[in-house]
Amino acid sequence: MNDSAAAAKSNPNPFRQAEYLLAAHHLRQLPFDAGFEVAIAGRSNAGKSSAINVLTGQKSLARTSKTPGRTQQIVIFQLDEQRRIADLPGYGYAKVPLELKAHWQGVMQQYFETRECLKGVVLVMDIRHPMKPYDQQMMDWCVAAGLPCHILMTKADKLKRGPAQAALLKLRKSLPAGASAQVFSSLKRQGLEQWLEVMKRWYAYD
Protein backbone atom coordinates (compact mmCIF):
# COMPACT_ATOMS: atom_id res chain seq x y z
CA MET A 1 0.00 0.00 0.00
CA ASN A 2 1.50 3.36 -1.00
CA ASP A 3 1.49 6.45 1.22
CA SER A 4 -1.57 7.96 -0.50
CA ALA A 5 -3.62 4.79 -0.10
CA ALA A 6 -2.51 4.38 3.53
CA ALA A 7 -3.47 7.96 4.33
CA ALA A 8 -6.82 7.54 2.59
CA LYS A 9 -7.59 4.35 4.48
CA SER A 10 -7.46 6.28 7.72
CA ASN A 11 -9.50 9.10 6.21
CA PRO A 12 -13.27 8.53 6.18
CA ASN A 13 -13.50 10.65 3.02
CA PRO A 14 -10.29 10.79 0.93
CA PHE A 15 -12.20 12.61 -1.81
CA ARG A 16 -12.07 15.87 0.14
CA GLN A 17 -8.57 16.36 -1.27
CA ALA A 18 -9.90 16.62 -4.84
CA GLU A 19 -8.55 19.52 -6.87
CA TYR A 20 -9.35 20.79 -10.36
CA LEU A 21 -6.68 19.61 -12.80
CA LEU A 22 -7.84 20.31 -16.36
CA ALA A 23 -10.71 20.33 -18.85
CA ALA A 24 -10.39 18.37 -22.09
CA HIS A 25 -12.29 18.71 -25.36
CA HIS A 26 -10.46 15.75 -26.93
CA LEU A 27 -9.11 12.52 -25.44
CA ARG A 28 -5.54 13.48 -26.36
CA GLN A 29 -5.80 16.31 -23.83
CA LEU A 30 -6.46 13.93 -20.92
CA PRO A 31 -3.78 12.98 -18.37
CA PHE A 32 -1.55 10.01 -19.16
CA ASP A 33 -3.59 6.79 -19.25
CA ALA A 34 -2.38 5.24 -16.00
CA GLY A 35 -3.49 4.89 -12.40
CA PHE A 36 -7.13 4.99 -11.32
CA GLU A 37 -9.87 7.03 -12.96
CA VAL A 38 -13.60 6.94 -12.19
CA ALA A 39 -16.02 8.71 -14.52
CA ILE A 40 -19.19 10.42 -13.35
CA ALA A 41 -21.86 10.68 -16.04
CA GLY A 42 -25.41 11.89 -16.09
CA ARG A 43 -28.15 13.53 -18.08
CA SER A 44 -28.38 17.29 -18.05
CA ASN A 45 -29.77 18.56 -14.74
CA ALA A 46 -29.70 15.11 -13.12
CA GLY A 47 -27.71 16.50 -10.19
CA LYS A 48 -24.23 15.37 -11.22
CA SER A 49 -22.33 18.48 -10.16
CA SER A 50 -24.14 18.63 -6.82
CA ALA A 51 -23.27 14.97 -6.19
CA ILE A 52 -19.58 15.61 -6.91
CA ASN A 53 -19.59 18.57 -4.53
CA VAL A 54 -21.15 16.44 -1.77
CA LEU A 55 -18.68 13.60 -2.40
CA THR A 56 -15.71 15.96 -2.10
CA GLY A 57 -17.14 18.13 0.66
CA GLN A 58 -16.55 21.21 -1.49
CA LYS A 59 -19.43 23.55 -2.28
CA SER A 60 -18.24 24.70 -5.69
CA LEU A 61 -15.64 22.23 -6.98
CA ALA A 62 -18.00 21.17 -9.76
CA ARG A 63 -20.10 23.93 -11.25
CA THR A 64 -23.83 23.70 -10.67
CA SER A 65 -26.28 25.41 -12.96
CA LYS A 66 -29.99 25.48 -13.71
CA THR A 67 -29.02 25.61 -17.38
CA PRO A 68 -28.72 22.02 -18.69
CA GLY A 69 -25.51 21.04 -20.43
CA ARG A 70 -23.17 23.40 -18.63
CA THR A 71 -20.39 20.77 -18.48
CA GLN A 72 -19.13 20.92 -22.06
CA GLN A 73 -15.76 19.24 -21.55
CA ILE A 74 -14.32 16.29 -19.67
CA VAL A 75 -13.34 17.93 -16.41
CA ILE A 76 -10.61 16.14 -14.44
CA PHE A 77 -10.27 16.45 -10.68
CA GLN A 78 -7.12 14.99 -9.14
CA LEU A 79 -7.07 13.17 -5.81
CA ASP A 80 -3.36 12.29 -5.88
CA GLU A 81 -0.75 11.41 -8.49
CA GLN A 82 -2.49 8.13 -9.30
CA ARG A 83 -6.19 8.87 -8.78
CA ARG A 84 -8.60 11.12 -10.68
CA ILE A 85 -12.32 11.83 -11.07
CA ALA A 86 -13.56 12.49 -14.61
CA ASP A 87 -16.69 14.66 -14.81
CA LEU A 88 -18.21 13.79 -18.19
CA PRO A 89 -20.28 16.19 -20.33
CA GLY A 90 -23.92 16.09 -19.24
CA TYR A 91 -25.79 16.50 -22.46
CA GLY A 92 -28.81 14.28 -22.93
CA TYR A 93 -31.47 16.73 -24.04
CA ALA A 94 -29.49 19.90 -23.41
CA LYS A 95 -29.90 22.71 -25.89
CA VAL A 96 -26.56 22.43 -27.66
CA PRO A 97 -25.75 22.32 -31.40
CA LEU A 98 -26.18 18.95 -33.11
CA GLU A 99 -22.58 19.11 -34.32
CA LEU A 100 -21.38 19.40 -30.72
CA LYS A 101 -23.62 16.52 -29.64
CA ALA A 102 -22.17 14.38 -32.44
CA HIS A 103 -18.64 15.30 -31.36
CA TRP A 104 -19.27 14.21 -27.78
CA GLN A 105 -21.03 11.05 -28.88
CA GLY A 106 -17.83 9.96 -30.60
CA VAL A 107 -15.52 11.16 -27.84
CA MET A 108 -17.50 9.42 -25.11
CA GLN A 109 -17.72 6.11 -26.93
CA GLN A 110 -13.97 6.16 -27.56
CA TYR A 111 -13.34 7.12 -23.94
CA PHE A 112 -15.30 4.14 -22.64
CA GLU A 113 -13.70 1.75 -25.10
CA THR A 114 -10.05 2.80 -24.89
CA ARG A 115 -9.33 4.44 -21.52
CA GLU A 116 -7.31 1.73 -19.74
CA CYS A 117 -7.20 3.50 -16.36
CA LEU A 118 -11.01 3.79 -16.18
CA LYS A 119 -12.07 1.61 -13.24
CA GLY A 120 -15.79 2.33 -13.09
CA VAL A 121 -18.61 4.69 -14.01
CA VAL A 122 -21.02 6.45 -11.66
CA LEU A 123 -24.24 7.09 -13.55
CA VAL A 124 -26.32 9.89 -12.02
CA MET A 125 -30.04 9.97 -12.76
CA ASP A 126 -33.06 11.74 -11.30
CA ILE A 127 -35.01 9.16 -9.26
CA ARG A 128 -38.24 10.58 -10.71
CA HIS A 129 -37.08 10.03 -14.31
CA PRO A 130 -34.77 6.97 -14.34
CA MET A 131 -33.14 5.21 -17.27
CA LYS A 132 -33.90 7.52 -20.14
CA PRO A 133 -32.29 6.80 -23.55
CA TYR A 134 -29.09 8.68 -22.60
CA ASP A 135 -28.77 6.63 -19.41
CA GLN A 136 -29.30 3.41 -21.34
CA GLN A 137 -26.58 4.39 -23.78
CA MET A 138 -24.13 4.98 -20.93
CA MET A 139 -25.08 1.61 -19.47
CA ASP A 140 -24.63 -0.12 -22.82
CA TRP A 141 -21.15 1.38 -23.18
CA CYS A 142 -20.26 0.14 -19.69
CA VAL A 143 -21.42 -3.37 -20.54
CA ALA A 144 -19.53 -3.35 -23.86
CA ALA A 145 -16.35 -2.17 -22.15
CA GLY A 146 -16.72 -4.54 -19.19
CA LEU A 147 -16.85 -1.62 -16.76
CA PRO A 148 -18.68 -1.72 -13.43
CA CYS A 149 -21.44 0.88 -13.19
CA HIS A 150 -22.94 2.29 -10.01
CA ILE A 151 -26.14 4.30 -10.33
CA LEU A 152 -26.98 7.20 -8.06
CA MET A 153 -30.73 7.81 -8.09
CA THR A 154 -30.52 11.46 -7.10
CA LYS A 155 -33.04 13.92 -5.68
CA ALA A 156 -34.46 11.18 -3.44
CA ASP A 157 -35.63 13.94 -1.09
CA LYS A 158 -38.28 14.78 -3.73
CA LEU A 159 -40.05 11.47 -3.02
CA LYS A 160 -41.36 9.81 0.12
CA ARG A 161 -39.43 6.77 1.35
CA GLY A 162 -41.91 4.20 -0.05
CA PRO A 163 -41.98 5.46 -3.65
CA ALA A 164 -38.21 6.00 -3.57
CA GLN A 165 -37.57 2.40 -2.53
CA ALA A 166 -40.06 1.14 -5.11
CA ALA A 167 -38.22 3.05 -7.85
CA LEU A 168 -34.90 1.61 -6.67
CA LEU A 169 -36.17 -1.99 -6.63
CA LYS A 170 -37.71 -1.61 -10.08
CA LEU A 171 -34.46 -0.29 -11.51
CA ARG A 172 -32.33 -2.98 -9.86
CA LYS A 173 -34.41 -5.70 -11.52
CA SER A 174 -33.46 -4.36 -14.95
CA LEU A 175 -29.73 -3.92 -14.39
CA PRO A 176 -27.10 -6.08 -16.12
CA ALA A 177 -24.37 -7.93 -14.25
CA GLY A 178 -21.71 -5.56 -12.92
CA ALA A 179 -24.17 -2.76 -12.23
CA SER A 180 -25.51 -1.57 -8.88
CA ALA A 181 -27.83 1.21 -7.74
CA GLN A 182 -28.75 3.25 -4.68
CA VAL A 183 -30.90 6.20 -3.70
CA PHE A 184 -29.09 9.48 -3.09
CA SER A 185 -29.86 13.05 -2.06
CA SER A 186 -27.27 15.80 -2.32
CA LEU A 187 -29.49 18.09 -0.29
CA LYS A 188 -29.72 15.72 2.67
CA ARG A 189 -26.46 13.82 2.01
CA GLN A 190 -28.55 10.65 1.98
CA GLY A 191 -26.63 7.65 0.66
CA LEU A 192 -23.19 9.29 0.85
CA GLU A 193 -21.63 6.55 2.99
CA GLN A 194 -22.82 3.84 0.62
CA TRP A 195 -21.40 5.71 -2.37
CA LEU A 196 -18.10 6.29 -0.56
CA GLU A 197 -17.67 2.56 -0.05
CA VAL A 198 -18.08 1.90 -3.77
CA MET A 199 -15.64 4.65 -4.70
CA LYS A 200 -13.00 3.56 -2.19
CA ARG A 201 -13.14 0.04 -3.59
CA TRP A 202 -12.73 1.20 -7.19
CA TYR A 203 -9.77 3.41 -6.25
CA ALA A 204 -8.14 0.57 -4.28
CA TYR A 205 -8.20 2.61 -1.09
CA ASP A 206 -9.30 -0.42 0.94
Domains located in the chain, CATH noted: 3-201 (3.40.50.300)
Average pLDDT on 74-102 reads 84
The residue type at 125 = M
d(CA 140, CA 123): 12
List phi, psi (to 5°) of 138: -60, -45
Residue 104 is predicted with a pLDDT of 83
Average pLDDT on 112-124 reads 97
Average pLDDT on 13-35 reads 94
The runs of H, that is alpha helices, within the chain are: 3-9, 48-56, 98-114, 133-145, 161-174, 192-202
- Local confidence band at 44 (pLDDT 50, 70, 90 cut-offs): confident
d(CA 40, CA 2): 25
